């Protein structure tokens, strides 16, 4: 949930008119959520005004990577996806947060193999709305199993170290050969 704002002048959003000084709250979880059963306009008790929720993605509970991939198979920028907000009130730590999320996820997936106890079953994606959007309460009838990928990590590290040692040995041999050839050619030039 974002901080409450208010309009500085009269604004039109679709078919709705909002007068100046209308209290509004931008909830990113609602902006990206669109489902026939839950698409709605929610009115909050701001004086003389309302908050309008505009939906972006159809079928938000479906895993659909095509939302972010263009026809050529390249990653496309979705302007509506603003988890760190935009404008003057955007998150100052966005770059750090993205880097940390990438490093954490990459390390987690590199070191562990994750799987569900019950194949094909997932926890509910429904949200409970309040001041913030929370996961829908659920029973703990499923669990995530974590297996350490020790053999793969040890194998990769051993291979990488061997490769680096071989490259260093090769480069040292090449540099010595070059130095000897240069020394021989320099001595030939001096002798002639």
Does the annotation place 91 within a ligand binding site?
Answer: yes
- Asked if the structure places residue 60 within a domain, the reply is yes
pLDDT at 185: 82
Q: How many domains does the chain have?
A: 1
**Shortest CA distance to 127 belongs to which of 45, 54, 52, 38?**
38
- Asked if the structure places residue 17 within a domain, the reply is yes
- Asked if the structure places residue 86 within a domain, the reply is yes
Q: Say if residue 132's pLDDT is above 80.
A: no
Instruction: Let me know: does 84 contact 94? Beta carbons within 8 Å.
Output: yes
DSSP code string of 73-102: S-B---TT--TT--GGGS-TTHHHHHHHHH
3-class DSSP assignment, residue 58: strand
- Asked if the structure places residue 51 within a domain, the reply is yes
Which range marks the domain in which residue 38 is found? 1-91
- pTM to 2 decimal places: 0.40
Whole-number average pLDDT of the chain: 72
**Shortest CA distance to 67 belongs to which of 81, 84, 54?**
81
Give dist(CA 135, CA 55) in Å, integer: 19
Q: What is the mean pLDDT of residues 102-122?
A: 74
């Amino acid at each position: 949930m974002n901080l409450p704002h208010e309009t500085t002048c009269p604004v039109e959003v679709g078919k709705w008119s909002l007068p100046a000084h209308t209290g509004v709250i931008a909830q990113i979880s609602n902006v990206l959520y669109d489902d026939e059963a839950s698409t709605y306009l929610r009115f909050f008790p701001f004086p003389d005004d309302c908050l309008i929720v505009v939906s972006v993605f159809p079928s938000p509970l479906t895993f659909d990577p095509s939302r972010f991939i263009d026809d050529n198979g390249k990653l496309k920028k979705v302007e509506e996806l603003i988890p760190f907000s935009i404008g003057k009130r955007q998150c100052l730590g966005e770059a750090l947060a993205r880097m940390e999320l990438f490093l954490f996820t990459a390390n987690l997936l590199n070191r562990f193999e994750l799987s569900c106890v019950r194949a094909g079953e997932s926890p509910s994606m429904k949200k409970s709305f309040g001041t913030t959007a929370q996961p829908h309460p659920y029973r703990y009838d499923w669990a995530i199993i974590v297996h350490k990928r020790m053999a793969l990590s040890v194998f990769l590290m051993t291979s990488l170290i061997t490769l680096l040692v071989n490259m260093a040995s090769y480069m040292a041999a090449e540099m010595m050969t070059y130095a000897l050839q240069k020394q021989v050619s320099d001595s030939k030039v001096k002798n002639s």
